[in-house]
Amino acid sequence: MTLLSTAIPGHRQASRFNPFEWRRRWLTIDSNDAVIAWAQTLPGQTVLHVVLLATLLLIPILRTSHVALMTVALGLCWAFPHRRLLVLTVTGLTYFLLRPFKMGPHYDYFEQVAAPLIPLLPAALISVPFGVLFLVFAVAMVRNQDRKLLVFASNRPLLFMFLIGCGLAAATLLLPREHGLFAPVWIALAYLTSSFFFLGYVLLDNRSKTKVPVHAQLGFMRPFWAGFAPPMKGPAFILKAEAKSDADLAVSRLKGVKLAVWALILFLVWEWVFNRLIHAQWAFPRLDDLIAASAAGAQAPLAMRWGAVAVEFMAMVIYMGAAIHALVAVVRVAGFCIPRGMVRPLSSRTIAEFWGRYLFYFKEILVDFFFYPTFRRYFKNHPRLRMAFATFAAAFVGNVLFDFMHTIPSVAFEGSERYLNGLISYCVYAGVLTAGIIWSQLAQSAPRKEDGFVRYSLLPRAQVILFFALLQVIDDSSATVLIGDRLSYLTGLFGVSI
């Protein structure tokens, strides 16, 4: 008899080779009393942590060093379950001090400008003193919200930091790299842009009734699970999801392991079906390669161009699902049962619904920092205009700002031409996305079950998938292919040349 058969009541020998029965049992492990009890035992906890770490190592989306940090943090959360907040604080501050930036090239630029300022420190520790200085700035921002020494910074902290960032960015462009002020200005810009939304959530949650002490808030400047992903909201949200009992903790860990296994399945589908089979063995071209070839005058057959759009869209959804599920799984196993970051996006019946289901935490950033503040302030007597303008602030302004904020420090080293081309390209994408969401909110009628299967389930979902599949053609901020060439490819799918 297997461990699973003894842990799950009602296991029957006849169901051993029934995949549907095994699937049902697997999907319900977090609601099975016997499994929950087993997950509270030392062997059960050990198995769950080992399975999670094994899946993370098999999903090479995350850096090995990042997985190592997660392993240490998860081990501490396991060993000290009643000190999880302290673990988050210590590991978060350590992560922030050692790996403060989100963009890989920024570490090379940082070493170039910072090493001469502190020549005695090893390269791996150069970021520590500058990180401490930025933490002093963060504490000052938090304290100012209570004391209101700077009223504008207290009332509009995000706008205040944005204006500081604009000033720093302008200075890095105007000052020659040899100037004595360039290094400190660039370093300040790099820290501010990399931590903008993490600090933003700390400041936002500092106004809540359940705020945590300042030193604990600083651990959320770079939580140990943070990497390439946007912040998964702030301290109040994370701590609200904290397990309150041993049973809650067991359920959270089971949900995390389930999600990690699903992330591994998605990654393997992406790797073996799309990368190795479709693109490698069958030599089916990638979408960006076809767009570049089309721009060079080598037009592929229409069926191949449409096929590339479909393949790229499905591959993107699967890859992003694997990545975000892996990170959420880590948070859950640590003892914080937060919602999934992606929930069945292909089942969406409206554009607005897909946008919320596809990347939940990215959507939450735009809603928390752009949609709600705009919705509360403007056009209160014009409901439809109020909704449209708030959506524009989130889906366009916030979207563009989030995408390009992290890359701004690179401009001083790489020049502005590629950056501006990428900005123009992404603005076109964000504009089309915003128009689609506003139309979905204000003009698109919600499908009804009475309309029948085709009009309720099939057509609305097909329309949403088609919209976002086509939208990905112009979803690019790298400027490797200019927006004009992308638009030409897009219109060419319908037989229109521009």
How do residues 351-383 score in pLDDT, each as one tens digit?
989 988 998 999 999 999 999 999 999 999 999
Residue 33 burial class via C-beta count within 10 angstroms: exposed 0-12, middle 13-18, buried 19 and up: exposed
Higher pLDDT, 223 or 476: 223
Beta bridge partners of 336: 242
pLDDT of 279 strictly over 70: yes
Read off the DSSP letter of residue 345.
Answer: G
CA distance 421 to 406: 16
Residue 338's SS3 state is coil
Q: How confident is the model at residue 7 (pLDDT cuts 50, 70, 90)?
A: very low
Residue 16 pLDDT: 64
Domain boundaries, the chain: 1-28, 100-221, 250-492
Q: Looking at residue 23, what is its pLDDT?
A: 83
Averaged pLDDT score across all residues of the chain: 90
pLDDT at 60: 86
Picking from 96, 166, 88, 158, the residue whose alpha carbon sits closest to that of residue 133 is 96
Contacts of 140 (CB under 8 A, 6+ apart): none
Instruction: Indicate if the pLDDT at residue 8 is higher than 50.
Output: no
Lowest mean pLDDT among 67-76, 153-162, 474-483: 474-483
**Phi, psi of 298, rounded to the nearest 5 degrees:** -95, 90
In this prediction, what percent of the chain has a pLDDT beyond 90? 68
Structure-model confidence comparison of residues 72 and 495, the more confident one:
72
Q: What is the pLDDT of residues 283-328, one digit of tens each?
A: 999 999 999 998 888 888 999 999 999 999 999 999 999 999 999 9
Distance CA 1, CA 392 (A): 59
Backbone φ and ψ of 376, nearest 5°: -75, -25
pLDDT at 15: 55
pLDDT above 70 covers a percentage of the chain that reads 97
pLDDT at 20: 80
Whether the CB-CB separation of 363 and 355 falls below 8 Å is answered with: yes
Of the listed ranges 181-195, 404-418, 445-459, the least confidently predicted one is 445-459
